[in-house]
Amino acid sequence: MRANDATGIYFNRAADELDLSDNMRKLLLTPKREVQVQIPVELDSGEVATFIGYRVQHNDARGPMKGGLRYHPQVDLDEVRALASLMTWKTAVVNIPYGGAKGGVAIDPAQRSTRELERITRRFVDAIHDLFGPDTDIPAPDMGTTAEVMAWIMNQYGKFHGFSPACVTGKPVEYHGIAGREEATGRGVGSLTVKLLSRLGRRVEGTTVAIQGFGNVGSHAAKFLKAAECRILAVSDAFGGVHCGDGIDVLELLRHMHATGKVAGFKGADAITNDELLALDVDVLIPAALGGVLTPENAGRVRARMIVEAANAPIDPDADAIFDEAGLTVLPDILANAGGVTASWFEWVQNRQHYQWGINRVRQELDRILGEGFEQIWQLAQQRHVTLRTAAYMLGLGRVGRATVLGGIE
């Protein structure tokens, strides 16, 4: 199923519960603006290559649009469109004053040198600098992009518009970023997993966890949950995974990862494939890599009791229905991974005030905002007898819909 069709299904389920009119559905589903640009770049070899960049600005009823920038070979307009709409509902679920957007370039960053990535990023900014900025649309890191990429974006944007650190978030701490942004999405995934376990009346200590993806989000979620005394039984990345029945030493695995670039080969754990990881008998499964990894084909093999969607859209709607039928609890992406955009908001606020909070304040505010979002969707799900996903969409759609009506469309 195409990514955008999948988010449309979740949207319409919540819209039915809210009894939204067809006109309002169309207004909320249609992106405000979609841009596709050519990025011609000279490669290190001297050859000229042309890449395609996308930015979809979905909705700004609640504030400037906000969303990551993805560098991945599978990036296309349909995926970016789906991810942009997820950002609109996500910022509304955690009630921060933003709308939703997303961007991407169809490249494999692992195949590009740092200099090539810098040239691609700067040319992309040249092409879209008039369309984003602190009060309109604020990019951030996503799969395949790093704090360094965000620094290039800020620097290139400044050549057109002057000093504007709030034009992009997720920047290096030494270059107008903030302490706690990098860990925020994974920390949020971890803290929300703990909240979910508590709400379900389960002990946190000893809870078994499998995590697909050991990048920014997966590794920080693993660190948080390990510190909360969960047992991380398996972890994987694009090259394969590792499994240890007694629990993986996450800090040691991180050291191995930094030294070798992959989790495979880690001593003290056995090799495991990504497919095997998804089917492990664990309490919590955390997909933290790509979208669409849980499908009707493999859903029946999943033995986890809970799935926490750290990645965006990791579950196909048909697989979601299978999990619902089987009584499995799914914490949806639009809350589960909202820690990143929430900390991005803190960064934007501090950039605009030329002031810096300490790490403790960032963590405290992050935990508070995510905790409130969790309690609101939990209560709504109980009251309306719907899944946590439908409750999250209802909360998000309701807020965006009300802002649209209050602001008016004249």
Q: Give me the DSSP letters along 129-163.
A: TTT-BTTTEEEEE-TT--HHHHHHHHHHHHHHH-S
Q: Candidates 312, 329, 350, 351: give the one binding ligand NAD (CB under 6 A).
A: 312
Strand order in the sheet with 99-105: 33-42, 48-59, 99-105, 65-71, 137-141
Q: Does 337 bind ligand NAD (CB under 6 A)?
A: yes
Quick one: 229 or 275, whose CB is closer to ligand NAD? 275
Q: Does 144 bind ligand NAD (CB under 6 A)?
A: yes
Pairing of strands 48-59, 33-42: antiparallel
Binding to ligand NAD by CB under 6 A, coded x per residue (else -) over 216-235, reads xxx-----------------
Q: Which of the following is catalytic: 26, 32, 90, 102?
A: 102
Q: How far is the CB of 311 from ligand NAD (least distance, A)?
A: 3
Quick one: 113 or 382, whose CB is closer to ligand NAD? 113
Q: Does 98 bind ligand NAD (CB under 6 A)?
A: no
CA angle 207, 212, 214 (to 5 degrees): 100
Tell me how crowded residue 409 is: count the other CB atoms within 10 A of its CB: 7
Cα–Cα distance, 386 to 213 (Å, whole number): 29
Contact of 246 with 312, CB cutoff 8 Å: no
Q: Does 99 bind ligand NAD (CB under 6 A)?
A: no
Q: Does 351 bind ligand NAD (CB under 6 A)?
A: no
Quick one: 20 or 143, whose CB is closer to ligand NAD? 143
Quick one: 340 or 401, whose CB is closer to ligand NAD? 340
Number of residues located near ligand NAD, criterion CB under 6 A? 24
Q: Does 373 bind ligand NAD (CB under 6 A)?
A: no
Q: Does 191 bind ligand NAD (CB under 6 A)?
A: no
Strand order in the sheet with 329-331: 270-272, 240-243, 231-237, 208-212, 284-287, 306-308, 329-331
Phi, psi of 385 (to 5 degrees): 55, 50
Quick one: 54 or 214, whose CB is closer to ligand NAD? 214
Evaluated on CA atoms 227, 232, 235, 241, the torsion sign reads positive
Cα–Cα distance, 77 to 124 (Å, whole number): 16
Nearest to 287 by CA among 194, 181, 370, 211: 211
Q: Does 64 bind ligand NAD (CB under 6 A)?
A: no
The residues facing 103 across adjacent strands are 55, 69
Q: Candidates 103, 139, 177, 340: give the one binding ligand NAD (CB under 6 A).
A: 340
Nearest to 284 by CA among 216, 367, 202: 202
> Which positions from 239 through 298 interact with ligand NAD, judged by CB under 6 A?
274, 288-290
Q: Candidates 51, 98, 214, 323: give the one binding ligand NAD (CB under 6 A).
A: 214
> Which positions from 67 through 86 interact with ligand NAD, judged by CB under 6 A?
none
From residue 53, how far is each of 97, 143, 150 by CA, in Å?
Answer: 26, 15, 16
Q: Candidates 56, 143, 294, 391: give the one binding ligand NAD (CB under 6 A).
A: 143
Q: Does 107 bind ligand NAD (CB under 6 A)?
A: no
Q: How far is the CB of 82 from ligand NAD (least distance, A)?
A: 11
Q: Give me the DSSP letters along 6-57.
A: HHHHHHHHHHHHHT--HHHHHHHHS-SEEEEEEEEEE-TTS-EEEEEEEEEE
Q: Does 137 bind ligand NAD (CB under 6 A)?
A: no
Q: Candidates 97, 133, 215, 398: give the one binding ligand NAD (CB under 6 A).
A: 215
Contact of 233 with 245, CB cutoff 8 Å: yes
Quick one: 210 or 386, whose CB is closer to ligand NAD? 210
Cα–Cα distance, 229 to 5 (Å, whole number): 39
Quick one: 25 or 195, whose CB is closer to ligand NAD? 195
In the bound complex, which residue of the shown chain has the CB atom lying closest to ligand NAD? Answer: 215
Contact of 74 with 90, CB cutoff 8 Å: no
Q: How far is the CB of 144 from ligand NAD (least distance, A)?
A: 5
Quick one: 17 or 347, whose CB is closer to ligand NAD? 347
Give catalytic status of residue 102 as yes or no: yes
Q: How far is the CB of 310 from ligand NAD (least distance, A)?
A: 6
Q: Does 139 bind ligand NAD (CB under 6 A)?
A: no
Q: Does 185 bind ligand NAD (CB under 6 A)?
A: yes
Helices (H) and strands (E) in the chain, counts: 15, 12
Contact footprint for ligand NAD (CB under 6 A): 141-144, 185, 212-218, 236-238, 274, 288-290, 310-312, 337, 340
Known catalytic residues? Answer: 102
